[in-house]
Amino acid sequence: MTGPRNITEETLRKMSPEELREFQRSQCIFCHIKTGKIPSKKVYEDDHVFAILDINPAAPGHVLLMPKDHYMILPQIPEEVVKHLFTTAKKISHALLRGLTAQGTNVFVANGYAAGQKAQHFILHVIPRKENDGLSFALREGSLNSDDEERFRLALSKRLSAILAEGKPESLIAGESEEVSLENQEESEAGMDQKPDLDKIGALFSASNFSQDSEESEGEDYDEEESSEVVDESQPVVSSAEGVFVASKKAEKYHRLNCPFAVRISDSNRVYFKFKEEAEKLHERCDCVGV
C-alpha cells in the first residue's frame, strides 16, 4: 500500500485528521476498486458493502468483503454496517460451499498490524477450505491458570459493560468507568501487560504507508508547531496510565485509545480522560468515539 513518493512525511504530519483521512481515502486501493477506477473481480455489491475475489488468494475463491465507506478497523464501523458485514459473510460462505464445492469456510478478520492487517481498508476475509489445502486457522490450545482467568474476566467484563453502556442515553458510565480504571491500575501494578505500544499499531496507519521508510515512522511525534487550537493548560486534566479516551493537548479532537489518529500523539502531548463529558469540555469528538 504505497503512495506517491513526493508527499513528504512532513506534509503528512501537518495535516489535520480530516485531511489525513481524505488523503488516505484517495490513496486507498480498495476505495478505487469500489468506484471502478481500478479493475477487480467483483462478486457482490449492495448499498453498504462490496466483495471481490483476492487476486493473490489463500485459496482459489478467497473473497474480500468490505464496507463501501472507508474505515480502517472494525471499531470505527457503524453498528448496522458491522452486522450487515457479518450477515453478508454468511451469504458468501454459503455461495462458496455451493458454487465451489468447498468443504468448509473460514471467516477471518485482522484488526491492527499486530494481528496481520496489511490493508488500510477494513477487510473481512471469507476463505473456502478443503482438506489438505495447506492452510490452517486451527487454534492452538494453551492453558489458563485461575488467577489469570479471574483477572482477565474482571477487567474484560467491566470494560465491556462500560463500552456497551456508552451506547445508551442514560449513562451508567459514572460509576462503572471509575471502577474500570481502578481495576486497570491494580492490574498494571500486579505486573499485567504494560501500556499498549500504540506506536506499533500506528505504524500501519502512519506516514510510513506513503513512503517506503517504515522504520522511521515508529515513534513519530506530532509536530509541535502543528495545531492551531490553543488549550488552556491551567485546566485540570485527568492523566492516568490507563485512561479510556485520549487527546493531544494541542489538537482539537479526542479519541479512543485504539484510534489510528490517537496512536500518533506524542507522549508529551498525550492527555487521558475517563469520561466523555470531561473530554468534551476541551475537545471535539473523533468519529472513532461515536461507534
Asked whether position 182 contacts another protein by CB under 8 A, the answer is no
Question: Nearest-5° angle of CA 224, CA 273, CA 166?
Answer: 130
Answer for which of 11, 38, 39, 116 binds another protein (CB under 8 A) is 116
With H, G, I as helix, E, B as strand and everything else as coil, classify residue 154. helix
Size of residue set near another protein by CB under 8 A: 96
Name residues contacting another protein, limited to 211-230 (CB under 8 A): none
Name residues contacting another protein, limited to 225-254 (CB under 8 A): 242, 244
- How far CA 33 is from CA of 42, 49, 62, 193, 198, in Å, comes to 9, 12, 17, 40, 30
Asked whether position 197 contacts another protein by CB under 8 A, the answer is yes
Asked whether position 194 contacts another protein by CB under 8 A, the answer is yes
Q: For residues 161-171, b (16+ Cβ closer than 10 Å) or e, as one string?
A: bbbebbeeeeb
Name residues contacting another protein, limited to 66-105 (CB under 8 A): 74-75, 77, 79, 82-87, 89-105
Asked whether position 270 contacts another protein by CB under 8 A, the answer is no
Nearest distance from residue 268's CB to another protein, in Å?
Answer: 21
Q: Which is nearer to another protein, 15 or 135 (CB)?
A: 135
Name residues contacting another protein, limited to 122-141 (CB under 8 A): 127, 129-131, 133-141
DSSP state of 229: P
Nearest distance from residue 22's CB to another protein, in Å?
Answer: 25
Answer for which of 15, 155, 237, 282 binds another protein (CB under 8 A) is 155
Helix axis angle, 146-166 to 173-189, nearest 10°: 150
| Cell representation of residue 131 | 482438506
Asked whether position 29 contacts another protein by CB under 8 A, the answer is no
Asked whether position 39 contacts another protein by CB under 8 A, the answer is no
Number of C-alpha atoms within 13 angstroms, CB side, residue 138?
Answer: 8
Asked whether position 165 contacts another protein by CB under 8 A, the answer is no
Asked whether position 38 contacts another protein by CB under 8 A, the answer is no
Question: Nearest-5° angle of CA 266, CA 17, CA 273?
Answer: 55
Q: Which is nearer to another protein, 164 or 174 (CB)?
A: 164
> Of 121, 87, 95, which Cα lies nearest the Cα of 43?
95
